[in-house]
Amino acid sequence: MKRLIVASISGLLGLVAYAAPVLSPQGIIVNPVPTDLDVQTWVDRDPSGFGNSTYFFGDKIKIYVRVNQNAFVYLFNINATGQIDLILPNAFNPNNYLRAGETRVFPENGARYEFTISGPAGVDQVLAVASRQPLSLSQIADIRSGQMRVQGASNLARALSIVVTPLPDRDWVSDAVRYNVQPRFASNPQPPVVVVPRPPIFFITPFPGYGVVWEDREETEYSIAYRGGDVEQIFSYYHRDLLSRGWVKVSFKSHGNKNRPSYRAQYRRGNDHLEVRVAPRGGEMIVSLEWGR
């Protein structure tokens, strides 16, 4: 790794401050600065990206990615033990530049490779990083051979944070999706368990870069309090996330005065409806999402 040398030279116009990436508890890097660049990744059994799909040993899997603006995209698969596979770019397809609105699938139709689930059992995740500028992966992976030079989700996140930190704050963004991996035949078969998917509102992550005071998750409601913040900026974050998941806004109301407004909006997706409220309360900014049918 190259050594970073910081020198003080008279006559410099000033120092440039960069936003340090945030490392989530799952070992995913998050840009703390809101950006209009967006990347989405999902797997073929979970087109909505809810993270509730299951694959069994021996199954084939397809991984999708989409960007809303021209960007270079990097895809990594991280299994339950922290083993990392580089999906994009790879030796068969080094082209990782996507146009605005473009969706790609891996493996592509007619590709000379395929992805087969081999275990171990647990929760795997796909990490997507999109950047307006190409990133150097030389310290992370050998693209030609596909060999990773780091292993473990936290180690990958730290290595990527070094790579993206010099970029302009709004020039990169990340996304991740999880999927379950299980053996096809258990040694001690158990009665099948019926899992009812949680309402999709629970898969909206907190606004990166905003301090969270508390969160409250119920069966059909989700509330979160931020340490201050801008109503319009916070509402726009949740609005964009919902639109990307297929929700349609059907109504919107603004209350209060221009200095302390509060927003309320209704969304629909099929037979489901969702109410989103963003309002200041004391020194906090409260976001509430209520889901129903």
pLDDT tens string 102-143: 999 998 888 888 889 987 899 999 999 999 999 998 889 888
Look at 13 and 211; give whichever has higher pLDDT.
211
Q: Domains plus CATH for the chain? A: 22-182 (2.60.40.2550), 207-292 (3.30.160)
First and final CA of the chain: distance in angstroms?
Answer: 54
Mean pLDDT over the full length of the chain: 82
Lowest model confidence (mean pLDDT) among 117-131, 165-179, 236-250: 236-250
Mean pLDDT of 87-100: 89
* pLDDT value at residue 70: 96
Return the bridge partners of 103, or none: 66
86 alpha carbon, distance to own chain's centre: 17
H helix runs in 194-283, sequence order: 231-244
Report the b/e string of 18-48 with b at 16+ CB within 10 A: ebebebbeebbbbbebbbebbbbbbbeebeb
User: For residues 31 and 237, what is the distance between their CA atoms, to the nearest angstrom?
Assistant: 13
CB atoms within 10 A of CB 152: 16
pLDDT class of 250 with cuts at 50, 70, 90: very high
* pLDDT value at residue 179: 92
* pLDDT value at residue 48: 77
Mean pLDDT of 28-53: 86
Lowest model confidence (mean pLDDT) among 2-11, 30-39, 47-56, 172-181: 2-11
User: For residues 137 and 96, what is the distance between their CA atoms, to the nearest angstrom?
Assistant: 13
DSSP 214: E
Look at 206 and 57; give whichever has higher pLDDT.
57
Mean pLDDT of 223-232: 88
* pLDDT value at residue 25: 62
User: For residues 135 and 116, what is the distance between their CA atoms, to the nearest angstrom?
Assistant: 28
User: For residues 124 and 75, what is the distance between their CA atoms, to the nearest angstrom?
Assistant: 13
Mean pLDDT of 63-75: 94
Mean pLDDT of 156-163: 90
Which residue's entry shows tokens 């950006």? 35
Residue 73 has pLDDT above 90, yes or no: yes
Lowest model confidence (mean pLDDT) among 168-182, 188-202, 248-262: 188-202
Residue 198 has pLDDT above 70, yes or no: no
* pLDDT value at residue 68: 94
Contacts 24+ apart (CB under 8 A), 155-162: 155/82, 156/27, 156/76, 156/78, 156/84, 156/127, 157/21, 157/23, 157/24, 157/27, 157/28, 157/29, 158/23, 160/21, 160/29, 160/129, 161/20, 161/21, 161/23, 161/29, 162/1
Look at 79 and 18; give whichever has higher pLDDT.
79
Q: How far is CA 3 from CA 6, 92, 150, in A?
A: 10, 32, 18
Mean pLDDT of 142-146: 80
Mean pLDDT of 81-107: 90
pTM of the model: 0.60
Mean pLDDT of 55-79: 93
The sign one gets for the Cα dihedral 234, 237, 242, 243 is: positive
User: For residues 207 and 235, what is the distance between their CA atoms, to the nearest angstrom?
Assistant: 10
